[in-house]
Amino acid sequence: QVTLRESGPALVRPTQTLTLTCTFSGFSLSTNRMRVSWIRQPPGKALEWLARIDWDDDKFYSTSLRTRLTISKDTSKNQVVLTMTNMDPVDTATYYCARMGAPTQYFDYWGQGTPVTVSS
């Protein structure tokens, strides 16, 4: 079955860089038109899409955050990595990775999320 799991630090200091890893199973990111996205949710607030990476290594980013985000994949390890630079307390949120199953672009499977707090 399809599973995704996010991992990374629970606490990050302001101005630091956050690195999150999504480890998945049950599908391959080398499959034609398979995609994985990152989405975040501040406490008590709505969901916000951050970035997407495709089977062919195409990458797409949130307009407001594109200068701070980098998404990459390691197909052999079934992992997708998101880095976010210059972290700020407003970036405190639960970060989710989600699959966008080929050929669709909605989020059909989600990880359980990893909470990240930005504080000095």
Partner 1 sequence: EIVLTQSPGTLSLSLGERATLSCRASQSVISSYLAWYQQKPGQAPRLLIYGASSRATGIPDRFSGSGSGRNFILTISRLEPEDSAVYYCQQYGSIPYTFGQGTKLEIK
Bridge-based pairing state of the strands 114-118 and 11-12? parallel
Cα–Cα distance, 22 to 2 (Å, whole number)? 13
Give me the least distance between CB of 53 and partner 1, in Å please: 13
Based on CB atoms, which residue is closest to partner 1, 29 or 111? 111
Burial class for 102, CB neighbours closer than 10 Å (0-12, 13-18, 19+): middle
Give me the least distance between CB of 56 and partner 1, in Å please: 16
Instruction: Confirm if 102 and 30 have CB atoms less than 8 A apart.
Output: no
Give me the least distance between CB of 41 and partner 1, in Å please: 9
Per-residue tokens: 83? 């880095």
Binding residues for partner 1 (CB under 8 A): 37, 46-49, 52, 60-63, 96, 100, 104-108, 110-113
Based on CB atoms, which residue is closest to partner 1, 5 or 16? 5
Based on CB atoms, which residue is closest to partner 1, 43 or 120? 43
